Structure 1
Amino acid sequence: MEYNEALEYIHSLLKFGIKPGLERINALLSELGNPQNCMKFLHIAGTNGKGTTSTMLSEILTDSGYRTGLFTSPYVFDFCERIKIDSENISHADLCAYTERVKKAAENIEKKGFEVTEFEFITALALLYYKEKNCDYVVLEVGLGGRLDSTNAIPSAEVCVITSVALDHINILGNTVEEIAYEKCGIIKKNSKVVTTSLQNKKAFEVIKESVERTDSELRVADFGKVNIIDESIKGTKFEYKGTIYKTPLAGIHQVENTLGVIEAARFIKGVNTDNIQRGIRRTVMHGRMELVEENVLIDGGHNEECALALKAVIEKYLADKKITAVIGMMADKDCEKYLANILPLCDGVVFTRPDNPRSESPGKLTEIAKKYIKKITLENSPKIAYYRTKEYADFVLVCGSFYLISDVFS
């Protein structure tokens, strides 16, 4: 099987859509010998900040001498970014080999009535890969929700982290923050160690506390009140927390919040010291998350209101003197109105484009929403053309609204 064939097969499973439930992933993992039963996990759920939290923890564990698997989504440049060991992507050759093996297992259970989804297939492939590559720890980022997410097929986790919870995927997870938090907290099993932050949504925090009490688990709350900001810029933040100085290269106060959760989670792991934590945080690079790719180009794949508010704060604090032209493409199932309402008033102009994804919203519909917030509106269906044409004349370019857009422009 060639690399493109492997990707085509994996993406063909999209036709089964998103189907919450653990029956299919359990059947597939059983067919593969239950690789999930042989490893230690850190399990990360939440609406925003999961990828950053997962990546930082992976860097810290690797720095501590542990062979560490990292499972995240979405990818920005290469599909293989989603499955890493010690910060290295799975090779194309390994992806092909493991795809062939998991495909056979999927075909076997299909005869029993189990049709696996794309995410379930990738989860099983990653777990088999990590087991056979002898990982000491695996950091698993939840795909959607938590309780019925395929990553929750693991028997237990050394640490569960619940990052910021907000309204997103309401058609699947629930219409309130409490309902969504309940789904996220589904990763908390009996006698777990759980981490969240003091900035967590109050309603979500109450659900987290109830889940911790119900499962006889231990809750550690990262206290933002103990943070002293030393220096901050678009290129990162230096801060003191509980007497120790940390430096994150990621912009925005929300990234300090994510980092606090990481610090407290890492302190649960034996063999991890303060130096490991400091170095791991300092080395973390998050492509497509408020990333300054050039002096006058900022990219961010966040897509919901909370992401928009975080991006707005960064723009107001560090880019207030810039004339910004935004290149925006979004998915139709997102709350485009709330996102655009926060971003467009900060921009001099906007170019709407359409990411190469069946769920993408049309530039025309985005324009109808945008008219009340901004006057200079341009439409360009090709993301690459939209970006490069804008770059020719704009003082500062902001590419935002979807990771699919970031991938289309920069891959």
Structure 2
Amino acid sequence: MIPRGQAAVSEAAQEIDKLMGLHPKGFDLSLDRITRLLSILGDPQKKLPPVIHVAGTNGKGSVTAFCRALLEAGGYSAHVHTSPHLVNWHERYRIGVKGGRGQLVDDAVFAEAVRRVAAANDGQKITVFEILTAVTFILFSEHPADAAIIEVGLGGRFDATNVISDPAVSVIMPISLDHQPYLGDRVELIAAEKAGIMKRGHPVVIGKQEYDAALDVLMSTAERLNCPTAVFGQDYMAHEEYGRLVYQDEFGLADLPLPRLPGRHQYANAAAAIRAVKAAGFTVTDTMMEKALLSVEWPGRLQRLNDGHLMANAPAKAEIWVDGGHNPGAGEVIAEAMANFEEKQPRPLFLIIGMINTKDPVGYFKAFKGLAEKVYCVPIRGSDAMIDPVILANAAYDAGLVAEPMSTVSEALEAIKEGAFEQAHPPRILVGGSLYLVGDVLADNGTPPK
């Protein structure tokens, strides 16, 4: 089966499909296999431009997007690795363009890199993510750029990206409970795993942390490794003032526009990116910051759908937002954003949610109590790990919400449309709970990331 949402004509997707049949899915946290493979390939991870290495439970994708926007605003070329993808495998690899906007990897180049890495591995035990991480290093080492922004896949210490021995800066974004079977069931244990990307003597930027226990672990690790460290709220900060973003660090203060990405949580994410790019050794001007904040893009995270196939099923004048956040921490920041929208323009809020069984649905839903009118729970297409919509609806009920199972997103939109006449204002609809669901929605809507 061709992976979720991927066009059958993609040569790279077909190569990856072959690997999916040969190697185990999921995670098997170890650096032994990736280290062996990279050695055969000539250690491409040692031939990268300056690396901004990003970990965290929430916000790492947004800070990656802000870092890219900042560098490109300064005329720098930046490679970007993120995971998972929403619609196409190619989204994981953006190749930097000098003086311009980075482009998703060319399909033929991507497919050839996958074949090379698979041949070097020669059938040895490995995970597909590890092969795709090796592809990252091949692509980024063979295409010149000024920087490489590399997002951790899972955790940090044993993540396949953590073969990077001399990052220009390690960035640790907010830490909360997620992937507990792999990383531990307490935030301090998860923080210790994320802190594993810190390297002795190399700069570290710590994003805004909700839990003191996580912050204590991160700061003590950085101190033990003698890492120059910048901590949000202590060494740099950002806040809204008179409709502007005020950023401040030891280098000075900047009066900036609010970020294009919606939600107040993006203020701290933008601040972490600014401080990280500076720590990586790049000059950051006020002009760069202003341009970056106004141009930044991060699909599938509080993204509003303004057109597309699914809009035809929605109530007239409805707002439709998609967000792939899927843990309690993400639920809180998404709910806060929805509450802020409600303050500015009142609309009844409806949720269309699908989740997989490694998540905490009750913890996610609790953030929306008293805010959402109703939750429609849907399956995730092609996923063996999805939570059955009936079970998911029960979880929403346990969190204090009114919920109903549905068979598809389109059916949920139709149900909202049927009840829209009872509302004084057109509805606001949030589709989320899973990046996989959001990917399916963007694919069905005809609006994949570019």
| Shared fold (TM-score, shorter chain, > 0.5) | yes
Find the residue that maps to 1:9 and give its secondary structure: helix
2:36 corresponding residue in structure 1: 27
Structure 1 residues 392 and 263: alpha-carbon distance in aligned structure 2, compared to 1, 3 A threshold = farther
Find the residue that maps to 1:139 and give its secondary structure: strand
Find the residue that maps to 1:404 and give its secondary structure: helix
Q: Does 1:330 align with 2:355?
A: yes
Alignment of 1:286-297 (within 5 A): 286-294=298-306, 296-297=319-320
Q: Does 1:172 align with 2:182?
A: yes
Number of equivalent positions: 401
2:232 corresponding residue in structure 1: 222
Which of the residues 261, 270, 290 maps onto 1:259?
Answer: 270
Q: Distance in 1 between matches of 2:431 and 2:264?
A: 20
AA in 1 matched with 2:440 = D
Shift of 1:362: 0.6
Native 8 Å contact 1:248 1:282 kept in 2: yes
1:235 corresponding residue in structure 2: none
Shift of 1:391: 5.5
Which of the residues 72, 77, 90 maps onto 1:67?
Answer: 77
Native 8 Å contact 1:56 1:280 kept in 2: yes
Structure 2: where are the runs of 5+ without partners? Answer: 1-9, 97-101, 307-317, 421-426, 444-450
AA in 2 matched with 1:332 = N
State the Cα deviation string for residues 60-95 of structure 1 (Å, max 9, x = none). Answer: 223333321100012223221111023311122222
2:407 corresponding residue in structure 1: 381
State the Cα deviation string for residues 118-166 of structure 1 (Å, max 9, x = none). Answer: 2111110011011111233211100111010000011210001110011
Moved more, 268-277 or 119-128: 268-277
Shift of 1:5: 1.2
2:448 corresponding residue in structure 1: none
Alignment of 1:70-81 (within 5 A): 70-81=80-91
Shift of 1:260: 1.2
Find the residue that maps to 1:26 and give its secondary structure: helix
Moved more, 378-387 or 293-302: 378-387
2:309 corresponding residue in structure 1: none
Structure 1: where are the runs of 5+ without partners? Answer: 233-237
Q: Does 1:92 align with 2:92?
A: no
Structure 1 residues 391 and 21: alpha-carbon distance in aligned structure 2, compared to 1, 3 A threshold = farther
Q: Distance in 2 between matches of 1:389 and 1:101?
A: 49
Find the residue that maps to 2:279 and give its secondary structure: coil
Which of the residues 367, 380, 384 maps onto 1:358?
Answer: 384
Q: Does 1:58 align with 2:68?
A: yes
Structure 1 residues 50 and 391: alpha-carbon distance in aligned structure 2, compared to 1, 3 A threshold = farther
Alignment of 1:150-169 (within 5 A): 150-169=160-179
Structure 1 residues 345 and 10: alpha-carbon distance in aligned structure 2, compared to 1, 3 A threshold = farther
Runs of 4+ in structure 1 deviating by more than 6 angstroms, as ranges, are none
AA in 2 matched with 1:314 = A
Shift of 1:171: 0.8
Native 8 Å contact 1:391 1:397 kept in 2: no
2:364 corresponding residue in structure 1: 339
Native 8 Å contact 1:53 1:261 kept in 2: yes
1:399 corresponding residue in structure 2: 431
**RMSD of Structure 2 on Structure 1 (CA):** 2.2
Native 8 Å contact 1:222 1:264 kept in 2: no
Find the residue that maps to 1:171 and give its secondary structure: helix
Q: Distance in 1 between matches of 2:161 and 2:45?
A: 10
AA in 1 matched with 2:435 = F
Structure 1 residues 26 and 375: alpha-carbon distance in aligned structure 2, compared to 1, 3 A threshold = closer
Structure 1 residues 231 and 88: alpha-carbon distance in aligned structure 2, compared to 1, 3 A threshold = farther
Structure 1 residues 389 and 92: alpha-carbon distance in aligned structure 2, compared to 1, 3 A threshold = farther
AA in 2 matched with 1:9 = K
Which of the residues 205, 212, 229 maps onto 1:202?
Answer: 212
Structure 1 residues 180 and 376: alpha-carbon distance in aligned structure 2, compared to 1, 3 A threshold = closer
